[in-house]
A = this chain, B = another copy of it.
């Protein structure tokens, strides 16, 4: 079950990379790299920071195959991808919910402080997109406009609050993921964003 969600998240991230790279008029190789980096970048940084190497996409081939096939299909059917916009948004949102909680649990396994675990979960969920934007020479979008990382942080706080209750750890996982997903859905639905902090 979680595995399926993980793959749906990878697909959504890879497609977002393909679309942005094609907008930047990159060639086929550039598009593939941006798709790959968007999908695995967050988890790679997470693994490097805690010293879990070789990093996870190097030892589990599923993700590589999923990204290769997704990139190919997205390029072939690029004129029709607009019809999927809502599905993609949902996959992406479910993906960050899952990645956040996976990151937190990897941090706990490494014996890290809860605050650091939340940071690690947020990095897992968000930094693929950050690296994508850097490679495309843009200021990363999550620093400017959206309730995105904030949703991950709220989900992370929920994880550690709920964890103190006498409930099964699978439920803790699910509840925290759902908080990430709902926060983002509500923020996008009602156009809520963080205040800018313009220098006066």
Residue from B29, B110, B194 within 8 A of A29 (CB atoms): B194
Is A21 in contact with B143, judged by CB distance below 8 angstroms?
A: yes
Residue from B24, B50, B54, B115 within 8 A of A110 (CB atoms): B54
Secondary structure class of chain A's binding surface, majority of residues: helix
The complex places the Cα of A103 from the Cα of B30 at a distance, in Å, of 20
The complex places the Cα of A22 from the Cα of B49 at a distance, in Å, of 27
Q: Which residues of B contact A143 (CB under 8 A)?
A: 21, 24, 26-27, 29-30, 33-34, 135
Asked whether A44 and B49 contact (CB < 8 A) given A195-B28, A200-B78, the answer is yes
Q: Which residue of B lies closest to A148 (CB)?
A: B29
How many chain A residues sit at the interface, stated as a range, is 35 or more
Q: Which residue of B lies closest to A18 (CB)?
A: B197
- A sample of 8 cross-chain residue pairs with beta-carbon separation below 8 angstroms, ordered by A number, consists of A24-B139, A25-B144, A26-B143, A27-B193, A27-B196, A50-B53, A79-B200, A135-B139
